[in-house]
Amino acid sequence: MEVNSQELIQILQNKITLFRHLGITVKEMTADRVHFQVDLQRNLNHKGTAFGGSLYATAVLAAYGLVLAGLKEKNIPTENIVIAKGAIDYLRPVETDFEIVCEFPDLPTKDQFYRDLVANKRVRGSVKSHILADGGSLKALFEGSFVVRL
């Protein structure tokens, strides 16, 4: 089943209020990859760089969107997705608009994630989001463990 990215964006806007406040433009939202462009001005801290909480939140939202897109692609009838654990490594300050790119670590991991969900009615799996700026330079790396239930 083909994923309708506009439908996914509407779900994020309507069900996760924070999404509307972070200055996110969705560049791509599929079951294989989520790519957000984020406005620095909406996420500034007192040093004129991106607020760490905004970096974390946008990375979590991208990961959530990736899992949601996979559920829609596989026609699995749930939106019951929660983050169970998340960690971020802040590598360098973000001084410009930035991008979030999120993908499953590899295709077998992605396929197994959804097979396990259908078989067990619950699954837990990890997703990574890369925070990039300045022409693709890695600024932070997020890894989150998400739980999905049917």
Which range, of 6-10, 63-67, 113-117, averages the lowest pLDDT? 6-10
- The amino acid that residue 24 corresponds to is I
Residue 124 pLDDT > 70: yes
Q: What's the CA gap between 18 and 32, in Å, rounded?
A: 23
| Residue range(s) defining the domain that contains residue 44 | 5-149
pTM: 0.94
Q: How many distinct structural domains can be found in the chain?
A: 1
Q: What's the CA gap between 130 and 1, in Å, rounded?
A: 27
CA distances from 68 to 11, 100, 113, 147 (A): 9, 16, 12, 12
> What pLDDT is stored for residue 2 in this prediction?
64
* Residue-wise pLDDT tens digits, 130-141: 999 999 999 999
Residue 107 pLDDT > 90: no
* Average pLDDT, rounded, for the chain: 94
Task: Give me the CATH number covering residue 35.
Answer: 3.10.129.10
Report the relative pairing of strands 34-38 and 24-29 from DSSP bridges: antiparallel
CA distances from 57 to 83, 87, 109, 138 (A): 11, 11, 24, 17
Residue 18 pLDDT > 90: yes
Residue 91 pairs in a beta bridge with none
> What pLDDT is stored for residue 104 in this prediction?
84
Residue 1 pLDDT > 80: no
